[in-house]
Amino acid sequence: MGSSLFNKQRTVHQILGGGFVADVMLWRRRDLTVGILIVTLAAWMMFEISGYTLLSFTSNVLLLLFTILFLWAKSAAILNRPAPPLPHLHLSQETVNEASTLICNYMNTILCVSEDIALGRDSKAFVRVGLVLITVSVIGSLTSFLILGYITLVLVLTVPAVYERYELQIDDYAVMGCRKVQHLYLRLHQEYISKVHQWKKKLS
């Protein structure tokens, strides 16, 4: 099924990179996606209750983990016992390439939109980005960065999957919403912005 909001010739899975990251975001690796949500929820609750910061918690956990593994390995060598059963810690080039490609595509899109706004090429994009930034500012003043990060993760792991499942219905509502926004913009332009331009011409 094509994605009419983005590109009719591409699926949501292809738009998200078509690899491991896309599988996780679209719940095609359900166990891993659920695990990520549960672990991050547990971490968020722990941070909120204990008052730990992310840096101090990470440092303490790594210190405890390395200490246990180091003492285990040393005692195993002395007692002629097997070493800790650690998997080979290695990121495959394929995984790195998929993640970097996804990040690169999103960053290029953001930079392209930013350039258009900065050079005054796209008034609609300026309005949309302005509304998003105002919303983020309001949300940021009402909540902490930790809560905002968890909410963002939940959205990343749910919105694409919901869209893929209900793509046609969402597209219909999105098209209707875009038309209403365009109609409102045209009304504002006719009633106010054009009058401002006329007033400026008269002054000049």
Q: Are 16 and 25 in contact (CB under 8 A)?
A: yes
Is 95 in contact with 20 (CB distance < 8 Å)? yes
What pLDDT is stored for residue 89 in this prediction?
74
The sign one gets for the Cα dihedral 133, 117, 125, 22 is negative
Q: At 55, list the tokens.
A: 């840096």
Q: What angle do CA 35, 39, 43 make, to 5 degrees?
A: 170
Q: Which of helix, strand or coil describes residue 157?
A: helix
Helices and strands per DSSP (H, E), number in the chain: 9, 0
Structure tokens at 203: 């002054």
Domain ranges of the chain: 12-165, 166-204
Note the Cα 43 to chain centre separation in Å. Answer: 18
DSSP state of 10: S
pLDDT tens digit at each of 204 positions of the chain? 444 555 556 777 777 777 888 888 888 888 988 899 898 888 778 777 777 777 787 888 889 999 998 998 889 888 888 888 877 777 788 888 888 988 998 899 889 988 888 888 888 888 888 888 888 788 777 777 777 778 888 888 888 888 888 888 888 888 888 888 888 878 777 777 666 666 766 666
CA proximity to 104, closest of 17, 195, 2, 3: 17
| DSSP label at residue 86 | P
DSSP class of residue 204?
Answer: -
Specify the pLDDT at position 81.
Answer: 84
Q: CB of 132 within 8 A of CB of 19?
A: no
Two structure tokens written together for 175: 């098209």
The pLDDT, as a whole number, for residue 2 is 44
In this prediction, residue 9 carries a pLDDT of 67
Q: How far apart are CA 160 and CA 21, in angstroms?
A: 12
Nearest to 26 by CA among 103, 17, 91: 17
